[in-house]
Chains A and B, each alone.
Chain A
Amino acid sequence: MRYRAPDAAALLTAELDAFTAIFHRPSGITHLLASPAREILALLGEEPLDGDMLLARLADRYDVADATRDALAARLDELVVAGLVEPL
């Protein structure tokens, strides 16, 4: 299954120490994300990816090397429930 996130224009973001505050324009809801959720959102905002591709890019681009497939699936589920990521 592939996932996608809204493009950058749909989100307002502000870095707040260890967190990123995100205002999701379509819903008007504010989210506070920690790593690796914010990196997942950034990658899926560029293009839709499946779990394996996402895992590889997280390791590649953000040095998130210790992410497991199960942990990533849990984070993706949370982002789907929050309405920030959409399964395709």
Chain B
Amino acid sequence: MRHQFTVRIGPIGFRVGSDWAAPIAALQDLYRYYPSPNLPDFTVRLEATHWWRRWLRPSIRIGGDYMLPEAAPLPLGFGLLAAEMAMNLQLALGGRRYLLLHAACVARDGEALLLTGESGAGKSTLATLLAARGWRFLSDEFALIDPETGLVHPFPRLISLKNAAIATAIAARPDAKLGPLLVGTPKGDIRHMVPDALAVGAMDEPARPALLLYPRHGFAAEKRGVPPAESFVRLTQASTNYVAMGEAGFTALTRLVRAVPAQAIDYPDGATAIDQVEALWRTR
């Protein structure tokens, strides 16, 4: 394709090809401190829906090895979002080296805290707030569990902030580099934030999972221990490749839920959640 970009995010290499220059320029700018992969694991294509749509009301169709048939084309103005969505999708559906959990992840002293939950549970926001308080940011989207070692590998892609989380995250990290504000996407307003230098510099250093949290936003502060069997069921559902991983996935996940304590927490706001997380971390 006429415009190309490659990047390595943790252990995963991507190549993005595009019919247009703008999405590639945005990626190059935001990922400027990231390394290039030796050999990309996944290729993403941002293609014009029709040849004339490169110029007239440009509309992007996402292409790659792994696709969802219902993925709708996006306008060119959302090119960065299209690229990020496509990169996530390739990893989510095609990743086989790691058990992929839909979870945000931060670490302290080599020990990792995994935050998993539905979209809107506040994973990206909480990970950003914790990183602003000195935790190492590993990912706001995927925890990559190595089936051999049980360690979680960083995947510090751009942090995808949505709606109210945008202002909260910027208040926590006012110096953070940001992508353009994308207004009115299918997920509302979106703005990408570049992870901090610590996260990018340590993207090759895995951490040992030490605490699993299931946060839920919009409720009075509450906590409840989650037994291993419930954690197991929740995480099979939160994994994008558990079934495809077969035996390795089973072994990795049962080991994780037996070794790592888990808590469900309800929280009314970010500040309360941070206090809850710090308290649980101290007594884990």
Which chain A residues have a beta carbon within 8 Å of chain B's beta carbons?
12, 14, 16-19, 21, 23, 25, 28, 30, 32
Shortest Cβ distance from A2 into chain B, in angstroms? 29
- Compute how far the CA of A19 lies from the CA of B247 in the bound complex, rounded to whole angstroms: 18
- Residue pairs across A and B with Cβ atoms less than 8 A apart, 25 shown, are A12-B250, A12-B251, A14-B250, A14-B254, A14-B258, A16-B228, A16-B254, A16-B257, A16-B258, A17-B229, A19-B229, A21-B229, A21-B232, A23-B247, A23-B250, A23-B251, A25-B247, A28-B243, A28-B246, A28-B247, A30-B236, A30-B242, A30-B250, A32-B229, A32-B233
Chain A residues closer than 8 Å to B233, beta-carbon distance:
32
- Compute how far the CA of A56 lies from the CA of B219 in the bound complex, rounded to whole angstroms: 51
Shortest Cβ distance from A34 into chain B, in angstroms? 9
Count A-B contacts at CB 8 Å.
36
- Compute how far the CA of A64 lies from the CA of B212 in the bound complex, rounded to whole angstroms: 35
**Binary CB contact string for chain B from 235 to 263 against chain A (1 if under 8 A, 0 otherwise):** 01000001100110011001001100000
- Compute how far the CA of A16 lies from the CA of B228 in the bound complex, rounded to whole angstroms: 6
Please count how many residues in chain B sit with their CB below 8 Å of the partner chain's CB atoms.
15
- Compute how far the CA of A13 lies from the CA of B254 in the bound complex, rounded to whole angstroms: 9
Which chain B residues have a beta carbon within 8 Å of chain A's beta carbons?
227-229, 232-233, 236, 242-243, 246-247, 250-251, 254, 257-258
Q: Is the CB of B247 within 8 A of A16?
A: no
- Compute how far the CA of A18 lies from the CA of B242 in the bound complex, rounded to whole angstroms: 22
- Compute how far the CA of A65 lies from the CA of B138 in the bound complex, rounded to whole angstroms: 51
Q: Is the CB of B227 within 8 A of A21?
A: no
- Compute how far the CA of A19 lies from the CA of B229 in the bound complex, rounded to whole angstroms: 6
Closest 10 CB pairs of A and B: A14-B254, A23-B250, A16-B229, A19-B229, A16-B228, A17-B227, A17-B229, A28-B246, A17-B228, A16-B232
- Compute how far the CA of A22 lies from the CA of B228 in the bound complex, rounded to whole angstroms: 14
Chain A residues closer than 8 Å to B232, beta-carbon distance:
16, 21, 32
Smallest Cβ-Cβ distance to A28: which chain B residue = B246
Smallest Cβ-Cβ distance to A34: which chain B residue = B229
Shortest Cβ distance from A37 into chain B, in angstroms? 14
Chain B residues closer than 8 Å to A30, beta-carbon distance:
236, 242, 250
- Compute how far the CA of A14 lies from the CA of B236 in the bound complex, rounded to whole angstroms: 15
- Compute how far the CA of A12 lies from the CA of B246 in the bound complex, rounded to whole angstroms: 11
Shortest Cβ distance from B247 into chain A, in angstroms? 6
- Compute how far the CA of A23 lies from the CA of B147 in the bound complex, rounded to whole angstroms: 15
Shortest Cβ distance from B226 into chain A, in angstroms? 10
- Compute how far the CA of A32 lies from the CA of B111 in the bound complex, rounded to whole angstroms: 29
Smallest Cβ-Cβ distance to A23: which chain B residue = B250
Chain A residues closer than 8 Å to B258, beta-carbon distance:
14, 16
